[in-house]
Structure 1
Amino acid sequence: MEYRTKWVVSTLCTITILMGIFLVGTQSYFNSKEIDNASNQCYDIGGTPEVESSFLAISYSFECHTE
């Protein structure tokens, strides 16, 4: 392979990896904000939030237990 082709391929791979990291980070951030907001609303009505989340809060389940 010629040098320019290798450079283009490696640049595209790097950009793809960085975009993937950015997208996962963004999803994790907004899911964490959503969990915080739901927990605060649960506390406001006198409930106890129960949250189970995966690594980096990519997926989660939320329940609000009230008496």
Structure 2
Amino acid sequence: MNRKWFTIITLTLVTLIVTLVFMNEYSIYQATELCREVGGLPGVDRDFLPINWSFTCIRP
């Protein structure tokens, strides 16, 4: 019984983390596309996983 709960909790946490990373990556993509739409040059600095990132949009 304990092993079953451990497996369920582990799979739930992995699914949650993957979903959050995907959503964060999509936010970076959206910000980049919106910057390009207004004629800007997007700049993205991020770590290994896209959890910690900063974004700049420089309009020439």
TM-score (norm 1): 0.77
Alignment partner, residue 32 of structure 1? 25
Alignment partner, residue 44 of structure 2? 51
In structure 1, stretches of 5+ residues that fail to align are 1-7
RMSD: 1.2
**Matched residue of 1:57: which SS?**
coil
Amino acid at match of 2:19: T
Moved more, 57-66 or 41-50: 57-66
Amino acid at match of 1:11: K
User: Structure 2 CA distance, aligned partners of 1:28 and 1:65?
Assistant: 26
Aligned pair count reads 60
Shift of 1:55: 2.8
Q: What percentage of residue pairs aligned between the two structures are identical?
A: 32
Which structure shows the bigger proportion of residues in helix conformation? 1
In structure 2, stretches of 5+ residues that fail to align are none
Q: Which runs of 4+ in 1 moved over 3 A?
A: none
Indicate the structure (1 or 2) with the bigger Cα radius of gyration. 1
